[in-house]
Amino acid sequence: MKQTPFTKNHIALGAKMAEFAGYNMPISYSSINDEHFTVRNNAGVFDVSHMGEFILKGENALALIQRVTTNDASKLSNGKAQYSCLTNNDGGIVDDLIVYCIEENKVYMLVVNAANIEKDWHWITKHNTEKVEMHNISDKTCLLAIQGPNATKILQPLTDTDILNLKYYTFVKGKFAGVDNVLISATGYTGAGGVEIYFEDKDNNADIIWNKIFEAGASQGIKPIGLAARDTLRLEMGYCLYGNDIDDTTSPLEAGLGWITKFTKDFTAKEIIEAQKKDGIERKLVGFEMQEKGIPRHDYEIKDFSGMTIGKVTSGTQSPSLGKAVGLGYVRTAFSNIDTNIYIKIRDKLLSAKVVKLPFS
């Protein structure tokens, strides 16, 4: 298994460790609920250095990004970021990602999922017909996500850059905790506010920044947070997880990602997805909450009142914040309207659930 620059810290803190995307990652330190509420109510630190980062440079960098992603990256200016996805030749999702505009029309950073680094790199390289300069900086990039309503207040003394007023999906570069060239972004995956910090793994930067963050937040209750709580936090917001809720067989429209699918430009499988929009789709990703006691899990069948299979669960959990079981799943479009009654098959029983609006409330 690969290690991040912070693996030794997690082990020293007694974290429960497990393999995730080929990395030895912290799943939890105390309990999922404790860590979940720490982020929702205060501030927590996630090590997400397993994520992938690519730099694309040159006069044709934007054209390449436009060709392989569904969103319109031409709208980005310096310091702006954008959620998007890569589509395959059949209209499925190769990966979802964030595009950062470092220098307009010239330099961009793509942040991709850890399990898809190699796949994404080959896919983008395959479409790089204009010799765009590409650098895979994943192995030398550290990434910490400090999330929660008090995160920026705790971190502000560590930088001269104004991060208290950093707008959603924007970023700045500057000195942080005495380290130069740190990219600080507001593109979180928890719905709780906060920032992510990217920096190069050199000159003991990882230890310096990790220690400074926890020194700054010691009196305010900042804690390290594992991937288990990250999953419950993102699920409460209805955010998709690649490999669960979206993959190579799901289209952006089926996944409710029409808002990042722009038909004003050409991109891979545009015609297929455009036809889906015109003709309608047969299934949709919906959020649902259980009406009976039971926790929906990945791949559980979704049924109608007669017991006919109409879809499957992609993500599910007992929501710590809401005190009820919730999930995401694909259902036939006829069953996708808000307040539609559906049934989840759990241990040979059909338990009632209801389609609800996202994020969960």
For 183-211, what is each residue's pLDDT tens digit?
999 999 999 999 999 999 999 999 999 99
Tell me the HSE value of 197 on the side-chain side, using a 13 A CA sphere.
Answer: 31
- State the chain's mean pLDDT as an integer: 98
Give the C-alpha distances (Å, rounded to integers) separating 208 from 52, 80, 171.
22, 27, 21
With pLDDT > 70 as the criterion, what percentage of the chain qualifies?
100
The answer, yes or no, to whether the previous bond of 359 is cis (omega within 30 of 0) is yes
208: CB partners within 8 A, 6+ apart: 177, 178, 179
The mean pLDDT of 17-40, rounded to a whole number, is 97
- Residue 189: how many other CB atoms lie within 10 Å: 19
- Which pLDDT score is estimated for 54? 99
Q: Which residue is it, tokens 């290690």?
A: 3
Instruction: Identify the band that residue 7 occupies on the pLDDT scale cut at 50, 70 and 90.
Output: very high
Instruction: Identify the band that residue 132 occupies on the pLDDT scale cut at 50, 70 and 90.
Output: very high
State the angle between helix axes of 61-68 and 117-126 in degrees (0 to 180), rounded to the nearest 10. 110
The mean pLDDT of 320-337, rounded to a whole number, is 98
- Which pLDDT score is estimated for 129? 96
Q: Could you tell me if residue 81 is left (phi over 0), alpha (psi between -120 and 50 degrees) or otherwise beta?
A: beta
The mean pLDDT of 242-254, rounded to a whole number, is 98
- Which pLDDT score is estimated for 22? 96
Q: Which of 236, 224, 235, 316 is nearest to 39 (CA)?
A: 224
301: CB partners within 8 A, 6+ apart: 309, 311, 312, 313, 344, 345
198: exposed, middle or buried (Cβ count in 10 Å: 0-12, 13-18, 19+):
buried
- Which pLDDT score is estimated for 147? 98
List, in sequence order, every beta strand (DSSP E) within 60-140: 81-87, 93-103, 107-112, 133-136
Q: What backbone phi and psi angles, to 5 degrees, belong to 133?
A: -75, 120
- Which pLDDT score is estimated for 158? 98
